[in-house]
Every structure is written in structure tokens, then in C-alpha cells.
Amino acid sequence: MVGWFSKLIVATTVRMPRWFVRWVSRRYVAGASLDEAVAVMKRLTNEGACFTIDVLGEEISSMDEATFFLEEYIRVMNAIQEHGFDANLSIKPTAFGLLIDPEAGMKNIRKLVQMAAKEDMFVRLDMEDHRVTTQTIDVVLALHSEGLTNVGTVLQGRLFRTLADIDALETALGPAADYRICKGIYLEPEDISFTGYRDIVDATNAAIDRMFAAGAYVGVASHDLPVIDHTLSALSSYKMGPGIDDPRPNAGPQRHHKGPGYEFQLLLGVRGPLRRRLLNEGHRTRVYIPYGEKWYEYSIRRLKENPTIGTQVAKAFLMPWTNRP
């Protein structure tokens, strides 16, 4: 159960003026513009980080908005090429119109993935709440069937269905399956998901094990030490690690701008010391870079949907030296 202090922090923050929310979120959001995101990536590139870039926005109300996101991601691709960033794209399927007009939304996503393929760039379909889990997976399967293999999805460890989804994707895609696995930010209903911290961690670790066993590429997106430690133990058991070609007999060839079968992924501004520790140990570490005019809505949504973030906000405010970005 979320502690009362964390709930209090969230309840207070969402009622504060916009400037205060901006002050809190500047640690976790690169800014409102692409130029601001580029500046952040230039700084972190010097530390050896690579990136996945997310233009903030989802649940659009018209296909005109979907056109904006398609065009903005094209600008992102151009910026990646111009500055030579080691980066890929993270997109929200609903921002491309998947819920408004599935056919047009699929057309938009396909166009972006095709353009990215020409530049040897990977596209990650972010996983939104359970309403679009099946549709998001179906988009990945459809694109792979068309020969567009530079795309993968996110799966949320907390959902009961996740292990079955991994098995289905393994059957359909084999070693071409490429995941980001996370606990999941959305507080899903208890009839379809785990709700207790330990149960969610255990379920996420079980998903990581299943992915490694399937020969898939595994992007572990977590700041939780029990998940990180479990992953490191799993890597050891498979004799995988920094500078080692993926030894799993069922693994596919290593992709450009990818690790040897795995990588660690962390949110911008969260547990920087952990990220640097993993990087110093030789592991590929990818930083999730969100930016966009919807920074305020994104910040408030994350706070409301997962009040445990309140403790991170309080820690960043009261003890900033413990969590340097």
C-alpha cells in the first residue's frame, strides 16, 4: 500500500501552481522543445549514455494531432542524425491515432517505422494501459510480418497476461522479439494485475527470465534494486555480460546500437548514481528522454497514476545530493 506521506506529496504537488510543477518536473522531463532535449542528450552523451526519445502526448482527440506527432518524430530522427546521437524512438500508439482510427493510426506508425528502418533506427512502441495492450502487440506483429523488424514493444510485469504474451511473441517472432520490460506505471485493476510491491517485482523478474530463455533482446527498464540484482544474476547464469557476444543458442544477431542481448534502461533524472554504476561496469545503459509541450499533463498524470512517485519527489527536494541526475 502506498504510504500516506507519498500520497500527501502527490496531493500537494498537483494543486501547486504550474511553475512549481515545472520546477519539480525539470529533473524528469528534458523540456518543452526538441532543442532542449538535444541539449540534455549532448550533456549525457559525454557520460557514455544512449537514449530513447519520447515526444510527450497521447489520447489525442483528432487525426490532425496524430499528424503533428508523426511530423515531430521525423524532426527527432533528423536531430539524431545531425548530432550523431546513439538513440532510438519511443512512441505512444494512441498518439498516432490507434484508438480514433485504427487503420489510419497503423498507417502513421508504419510510415515512421519505414523511415526509421532506412536509417537503421529502432522504434519502441510504449505500452499504455490495458485497453491497448492487445492492439499494441498486434501492431508489432503486423509490422514484422511486413519485414519491418526494427520495432518492438514494452510489456508490463504487473499484468497477469504478460508471460502468455511473451510466449505468443516468441512463437511468432522467434529471436526477432525485442522488449522493454518494466513493472508498469499504470495502476491497473486488481483482477488483471498484481498490486503489491513484492508481487509486482516477482512477476517482473519472472518475465525477464522468460525473455532471456526465449533468446529475445531484453531492455530492463527499472530503478528497483531487486529487479536490477535479479537481472545481473540472470546474465551471469547465461554467461552474458559487457563485451561478450550473446552466447544463447536461440538468440538472433546483435543489432546496431544495441547491447549483447540486453541493456538497462532508466528514466531521465531517476537514480543517476545507479545508471552511472551500471555504465562503469560496462553495461549498455539507455536513458528515457521525454520532452514536449505536454510536459505538464505528463507530470500530473504520472503523479496521479502512481503516487509512489511522491517519495521520489520528496527525496529530490529534500536530499538532492542522493540522486544526482
- 285 and 304: one domain? no
CATH code of the domain in which 226 resides: 3.20.20.220
pTM for the predicted model, two decimal places: 0.87
pLDDT for residue 212 is more than 50: yes
- 66 and 11: one domain? no
Q: Is residue 63 helix, strand or coil?
A: helix
pLDDT at 28: 78
pLDDT for residue 158 is more than 90: yes
- 130 and 268: one domain? yes
Domain count, the chain: 2
Range of the domain at 267: 30-291
Cα separation, 8 vs 179, whole angstroms: 34
- 124 and 101: one domain? yes
- 138 and 254: one domain? yes
| Contacting residues for 116 by C-beta, under 8 A, at least 6 apart | 77, 88, 89, 122, 123, 150
Q: Model confidence over 216-227: pLDDT tens digits? A: 999 999 989 999
pLDDT at 132: 93
Report the pLDDT averaged over residues 194-219.
96
Cα separation, 221 vs 265, whole angstroms: 4
Q: Model confidence over 239-290: pLDDT tens digits? A: 999 999 999 999 988 888 899 999 999 988 888 889 999 999 999 999 999 9
Cα separation, 144 vs 225, whole angstroms: 34
Maximum Cα–Cα distance across the chain = 55
- 143 and 286: one domain? yes
Burial class (CB in 10 A: 0-12, 13-18, 19+), 109: buried
- 309 and 188: one domain? no
pLDDT for residue 1 is more than 60: no
- 283 and 154: one domain? yes
Residue spans of beta strands (DSSP E) within the chain: 50-55, 87-91, 123-125, 151-156, 178-182, 217-221, 262-267, 285-291
pLDDT at 318: 47
